[in-house]
Structure 1
Amino acid sequence: MWDLNIYTILTFFPVAICFFMVFLCFRQRSRLEARALGLLMLSIAWWSLFYALELLSYDLESMRLLNKISYPGIVSVSVFYFLFSMALVDKRDWFRWKRIVMLFIVPIAVLIAMWTNEQHWLFYSLSEIDHTSTFPLQRLVHGPLFWIAMLYNYLLLLSGIIAVFRKYIHSTGLYKGQLGTVLLGTVFPILVNINYLFGFVDVGNLDLTPFAFTVAGVFAAAGVFRYRLFDIRPVARETVIERLPDGIVILDDGGRIVDLNPMACKMLGIDASDAIGNSVQEVFSDIESVVSFFTSGSEKRELNVRERVIEIKQSPIYSNKGKIRGHIALLTDITERKEVEDALRQSEERLALAVKGGKIGLWDLKMKKGEFSINDRYYQIMGYSAGGSVITFQQWKEFVHPEDLLPCLEEMDKCYEGQTDYFDIEYRMLSKGGEWIWVHDRGEAAERDEDGRATRILGTHIDISPTKQIEEALRESQMMYKKLATTDMLTGVMNRYSLTELLKLETERSRRYSAPLSLIMFDLDNLKTVNDNFGHLAGDDALKLTCSFVQSNIRSCDYIGRWGGDEFLIVATNTDLEGAIKMAEKLRSGLSSVDKKEYGPLTISIGVTTLLENESDFDGLLRRADEALYESKRSGKNRVTSVI
Structure 2
Amino acid sequence: MNIYALLTFIPAIVCLAIAIRLANRREQLEAITLSLLMFSIAWWAFFYAVELLGHDLETMRLLNKISYPGIVSTPVLFFLFSMAILDKRKWFSWKRILFLFVIPLAVLLSMWTNEIHWLYYSVSELDLSSSFPVQRLVHGPLFWLGMFYTYILLLSSIFSIAHQYVLSKGPYRGQLKMILFGTLFPVLVNINYLFGFVDFGYLDMTPFAFTLASVFMAIGVMRYRLFDIRPVAKETVFERLPDGVIITDDRGTVVDINPMACSMFGVECPKLIGLNFSDAFSDSETVLSFFNSDQSNSELKVGKAIIDARKTIIHSSRGKIRGHIILLTEITERKKVEDALRQSEERLALAVKGGNVGLWDFNIDKGEFSINERYYQIMGYPGGDLLITFQNWKEFVHPEDLLPSLEEMERCYNGEKDYFDIEYRMLSKSGDWIWVHDRGEAAERDKNGRATRILGTHIDISPTKQIEEALRESQEKYRRLATTDMLTGVMNRYSLSELLRAETERSRRYGSPLSLLMFDLDNLKMINDNYGHLAGDEALKITCSYVQSSIRNCDYLGRWGGDEFLLIVTNTDFDGAIKVAEKLRAGLCVKEHKNFGKLSISIGVSVLHKDESDFDALLRRVDKALYESKKNGKNRVTSFV
Give the TM-score taking structure 2 as reference length.
0.50
Match of 2:374 in 1: none
> Offset at 1:294?
2.5
Residue 474 of structure 2: aligned partner: 429
Query: Within the alignment, does 1:37 sit opposite 2:49 as a pair?
Result: no
| Alignment match of 1:313 (pick from 309, 316, 341) | 309
Verify: 1:160 aligned to 2:180, yes or no: no
One-letter code aligned to 1:473: R
Q: Matched residues in 2 for 1:31 and 1:145: separation?
A: 36
- Residues 288 and 139 of structure 1: CA distance in aligned 2, closer, same or farther (over 3 Å): farther
Deviation of the 1:86 alpha carbon = 3.3
Map 1:538-617; keep pairs closer than 5 Å: none
Does the C-alpha gap of structure 1 residues 167 and 128 become closer, same or farther in structure 2, counting only changes over 3 Å? Answer: same
- Cα 1:118–1:399, aligned 2, differ >3 Å: closer, same or farther? same
Amino acid at match of 2:310: Q
SS state of the match for residue 30, structure 1? coil
Q: Say if 1:123 and 1:143, in contact at 8 Å, map to a contact too.
A: yes
C-alpha offsets along residues 321-377 of structure 1, whole Å, 9 cap, x if unaligned? Answer: 89776433245899x99xxx9xxxxxxxxxxxxxxxxxxx999979998899xxxxx
* Aligned twin of 2:95: 98
Shift of 1:76: 0.8
1:22 aligns to what?
A: 19
Query: How far, CA to CA, are the matches of 1:492 and 1:371 in structure 2?
Result: 54
Question: Quick one: distance in 2 between partners of 1:137 and 1:308?
Answer: 77
For each residue in 1:95-129, what CA deviation from the matched residue of structure 2 results, as whole angstroms up to 9, or x when unmatched?
A: 33333333222222222222233344332233345
Shift of 1:313: 1.6
Please give the secondary structure, in 2, of the residue aligned with 1:315: strand
Change (3 A) 1:223 1:437: same
**Post-superposition CA distance 1:510-537 (Å, at most 9, x none):** xxxxxxxxxxxxxxxxxxxxxxxxx995
Instruction: Mark the CA change 1:239 to 1:267 in structure 2 (over 3 Å): closer, same or farther.
Output: same
CA distance in 1, matches of 2:45, 2:505: 39
Secondary structure at the counterpart of residue 155 of structure 1: helix
| Residues 83 and 89 in structure 2, CA contact (< 8 A), matched pair in contact too | yes
| 1:69 to partner: Cα distance | 1.2
Asked if the contact 1:175/1:229 (under 8 Å) is kept, the reply is: no
For residue 150 of structure 1, report the CA deviation from its aligned partner: 0.3
Q: Find the aligned partners of 2:226 and 2:499 in 1 and give their Cα distance.
A: 23
1:480 to 497, 500, 509: 500
One-letter amino acid matched to 1:429: S
Alignment match, 2:79: 82
Query: 1:235·1:478 contact (CA, 8 Å) conserved in 2?
Result: no
Distance 2:317 2:59 in 1: 53
CA distance in 1 between partners of 2:214 and 2:504 (Å): 32
Structure 2: tracts of 5 or more residues without a match: 351-461, 515-572, 580-608, 613-641
Task: Name the structure 2 match of 1:261.
Answer: 258
Question: Within 2, Cα distance between the matches of 1:485 and 1:394?
Answer: 43
Q: Deviations over 1:388-421 (max 9, x none)?
A: xxxx99698446535xxxxxxxxxxxxxxxxxxx
User: Does structure 1 retain, via aligned residues, the 8 Å contact 2:8–2:207?
Assistant: no
Deviation (angstroms), 1:53: 2.2
2:43 corresponding residue in structure 1: 46
Higher Rg: 2
Q: Does 1:200 align with 2:197?
A: yes
Aligned partners of 1:241 and 1:261 also within 8 Å = yes
The within-5 A match list for 1:515-526 is none
CA distance in 1, matches of 2:121, 2:289: 65
The answer to whether the 8 Å contact 1:19/1:41 transfers is yes
Note closer, same or farther for the CA distance 1:86–1:331 as it changes in structure 2 (3 Å cut). Answer: closer
* Residue matched to 2:231: 233
Q: Which amino acid counterpart does residue 71 of structure 2 have in structure 1?
A: I
TM normalised by structure 1 equals 0.50
Preserved CA contact (<8 Å) 1:126 1:140: yes
Task: Provide the C-alpha distance between the structure 1 equivalents of 2:147 and 2:209, rounded to a whole number of angstroms.
Answer: 17
Offset at 1:194?
1.3
1:260 Cα deviation (Å)? 1.0
1:71 aligns with 2:68: yes
Q: Tell me if structure 2 keeps the 8 A contact 1:293–1:301.
A: no
Distance 1:482 1:173 in 2: 33
Helix, strand or coil for the counterpart of 2:123? strand
Question: What count of residue pairs does the alignment treat as equivalent?
Answer: 405
**Structure 2 counterpart SS, 1:329:** strand
Q: Does 1:492 align with 2:537?
A: no
What code does the residue aligned with 1:209 have? T
Whether 2:184 is the aligned partner of 1:184: answer: no
Judging changes above 3 Å, is the alpha-carbon distance between structure 1 residues 473 and 537 closer, same or farther for their aligned structure 2 residues? closer
Q: Distance in 1 between matches of 2:481 and 2:498?
A: 24
Counterpart of 2:471 in structure 1: which amino acid? H
Distance 1:239 1:101 in 2: 33
Aligned AA for 2:312? Answer: P
Q: Give the superposition deviation at 1:72.
A: 0.7
1:445-492 per-residue CA deviation (whole Å, 9 max, x = no partner) reads: xxxxxxxxxxxxxxxxxxx999xx999734643663686589459952
1:166-177 equivalence runs, <5 A: 166-177=163-174
**1:512 aligned residue:** none
Could you tell me the percent identity over the aligned residues?
Answer: 44
Which amino acid in 1 is paired with 2:180?
L
**Is residue 401 of structure 1 aligned with residue 397 of structure 2?**
no
2:124 aligned with 1:127, yes or no?
A: yes
Classify 1:369/1:286 alpha carbon distance in 2 versus 1 (closer, same or farther; 3 Å): closer
Alpha-carbon distance in structure 1 between the residues aligned to 2:290 and 2:94: 47
Aligned equivalent of 1:211, options 208, 221, 232:
208
Within 5 A, what are the aligned runs for 1:127-146?
Answer: 127-130=124-127, 136-146=133-143
Instruction: State the alpha-carbon separation in 2 of the partners of residues 483 and 538 from structure 1.
Output: 17
Give the AA of the match of 1:233: P
Aligned counterparts of 1:88 and 1:491: Cα–Cα separation in 2: 30
Cα distance in 2 for residues equivalent to 1:191 and 1:312: 54
Q: Kindly state the Cα deviation for residue 8 of structure 1 after the two structures are TM-superposed.
A: 3.8
Displacement of 1:66: 2.0
Mean alpha-carbon deviation: is it higher for 261-270 or for 10-19?
A: 261-270
Q: 1:254 to 1:538 in 2, by over 3 A?
A: same
Check the 8 A contact 2:168/2:235 in 1, yes or no: no
Question: Which digits, 9 at most, give the CA deviation of each residue in 1:415-445, with x for residues without a partner?
Answer: xxxxxxxxxxxxx837xxx8447999xxxxx
Amino acid aligned to 1:78: P
Give the 3-state SS of the residue equivalent to 1:300 in structure 2.
strand
Q: Which AA in structure 1 matches 2:258?
A: N
Letter aligned with residue 188 of structure 1:
F
209-218 vs 169-178, greater mean Cα deviation: 169-178
Rounded Cα–Cα distance in structure 2 between residues aligned with 1:484 and 1:183: 36
- 8 Å contact kept, 1:117–1:123: yes
Q: Distance in 1 between matches of 2:30 and 2:502?
A: 20
Query: Distance between the aligned counterparts of 2:8 and 2:123, measured in 1?
Result: 25
**CA-CA distance at 1:151 after TM superposition:** 0.5
Measured in 2, the distance between the counterparts of 1:22 and 1:297 equals: 37
3-state SS of the aligned residue for 2:311?
strand
Pairing partner for 2:104 from 83, 107, 115: 107
- Counterpart residue number, 1:453: none
CA root-mean-square deviation = 5.2
One-letter code aligned to 1:123: Y
1:206, distance to aligned residue in structure 2 (A): 2.9
Corresponding residue of 1:55: 52
Cα deviation for residue 222 of structure 1 reads 4.8
